[in-house]
Amino acid sequence: MKEIKTIGILGAGTMGGNLAQLAATRGFEVLLYDIEARQRENALSRTAAALDKGISRGSVTGEEKEAVLGRIQGTASLEQLEAADFVIEAVVEDLKVKQELFSRLDGICREDTVLCSNTSSMSITSIAAATKRADRVAGMHFFNPPTVMKLVEVIRGYHTSEETAETVKQTAAALGRTPAEVRRDTPGFVVNRCLFPFLLEAIHIYEEGIATKEDIDTAVKLGLNFPMGPFELMDLAGLDTFIPITEYFFSEFKDPKWNAPQSIRAVIRAGRYGRKNGRGWYTY
C-alpha cells in the first residue's frame, strides 16, 4: 500500500467535520471540501472547541491543538483534491450529488488514489459507476461521531479490488478505528439494515400512543442497555438524513415497512433537524 499522508474529505457537516478532526488528530493532512463556507467554518470551530475541552481536561496541549488545526485546510475548490492520497466523501445522502462528485474527482485525483463514500445506505457500485476506476472505489462507513465510534464498515462494490479493500481497512486502522468488512453491496449494509427497522418501529409505537417518546427512550436504554434511546439517536444523527435513507430502502426493497411515518415527516417539515440545529424530536 502506498503511503497516505493527505486525506481529502468532501462535506463539512455532521460527519465530514468530525472526520476531519479525527484524521488531523491522527497526524494526517486534511483537505476539507464543502460548497458552503459556513459549513467549513463551523467544522473548524467545532474542532477547536473539542480540542479546548481536551486542554481543560489535560489530555491535549495548546501546541497539539494548534498542530491539529494547522493540518486542516478548508477549500471550496474540488481541484485541490488532486493533492489527496485518499478521499472520503461525506456530502448529503443523494445518489445524484455523490455520482456527480465522484465523476469530477475521477478526473482530478491521481490514478492510484482510492475514493471512498461514507454513504449510510446507497449502492457503492452505482457511485463507482460514475468513475473509470470502479476497482478503486469502496464504501467507508463511519458512525456518528467518528472521533468516538470505533466501527468502520468497509463495503466492497461489485468491482472493488482486494487491494482497495485492504487499503481502506489499513486506513481505518491508522485512524484508530476497527474495520468490519461488508462483502456484498446491499442497501444499508449491516448496521443500518439492523438499525432502521428498530427506529421505524419506535416511531410507530409512539404514533399508536402506546408510550411517549421519553418513555420509549427510557425503556430502550434501561431495558436493552443501549446508551441512547431511538428518538435521542435520531436527533443525534440528523432527521433530514433519515428520510433519504428510508426512501432509498423503500426504492430498493419495495416493502412498505421502510416508509417513513408521518410524524417524523411533520417534525422535519417544521424545520426541526435534530441536534444540528438545536431542535428535533426534542428541543436542546
Ligand X SMILES: NC(=O)c1ccc[n+]([C@@H]2O[C@H](COP(=O)([O-])OP(=O)(O)OC[C@H]3O[C@@H](n4cnc5c(N)ncnc54)[C@H](O)[C@@H]3O)[C@@H](O)[C@H]2O)c1
Strand partners, 181: 154
Told to judge if 192 belongs to the known catalytic residues of this protein, a careful annotator would answer: yes
Q: Restricting to residues 137-196, name those near ligand X by CB under 6 A.
A: 142-144
| Minimum CB–partner distance for residue 42 and ligand X (Å) | 8
Q: Which of 120, 147, 164, 171 binds ligand X (CB under 6 A)?
A: 120
Taking the least distance from each CB to ligand X, the nearer of 133 and 276 is 276
Told to judge if 120 belongs to the known catalytic residues of this protein, a careful annotator would answer: yes
Whether the CB-CB separation of 98 and 129 falls below 8 Å is answered with no
Q: In the numeric block, which cell numbers belong to residue 42?
A: 463551523
Catalytic residue among 29, 141, 159, 232: 141
Catalytic residue among 18, 117, 118, 192: 192
62 labeled binding residue: no
Whether the CB-CB separation of 113 and 136 falls below 8 Å is answered with yes
Told to judge if 153 belongs to the known catalytic residues of this protein, a careful annotator would answer: yes
- Phi/psi for 128 (5° steps) reads -65, -30
Report the distance separating Cα 281 and Cα 234, nearest Å: 8
Instruction: Show the beta-strand stretches assigned E in 79-177.
Output: 86-89, 114-117, 137-142, 151-156
Catalytic residue among 18, 120, 121, 123: 120
Interface stretch with ligand X, choices 49-57, 60-68, 86-94, 259-267 (CB under 6 A): 86-94
| Minimum CB–partner distance for residue 2 and ligand X (Å) | 26
Whether the CB-CB separation of 243 and 272 falls below 8 Å is answered with no
CA 110 to chain centre: 24
| Minimum CB–partner distance for residue 36 and ligand X (Å) | 4
144 labeled binding residue: yes
* C-alpha atoms less than 13 angstroms from C-alpha of 271 in its C-beta half-sphere: 2
Taking the least distance from each CB to ligand X, the nearer of 57 and 96 is 96
Q: Which of 119, 123, 167, 246 binds ligand X (CB under 6 A)?
A: 119
Pairing outcome for strands 137-142 and 151-156: antiparallel
Which residue number is nearest to ligand X in terms of Cβ? 13
Site string for ligand X, 7-26 (x = CB under 6 A): ---xxxxxxx----------
Q: Restricting to residues 31-70, name those near ligand X by CB under 6 A.
A: 34-36, 39
Instruction: Report the catalytic residues.
Output: 120, 141, 153, 192
Residues near ligand X (CB under 6 A) are 10-16, 34-36, 39, 90-93, 97, 101, 118-120, 142-144, 237-238, 241, 276
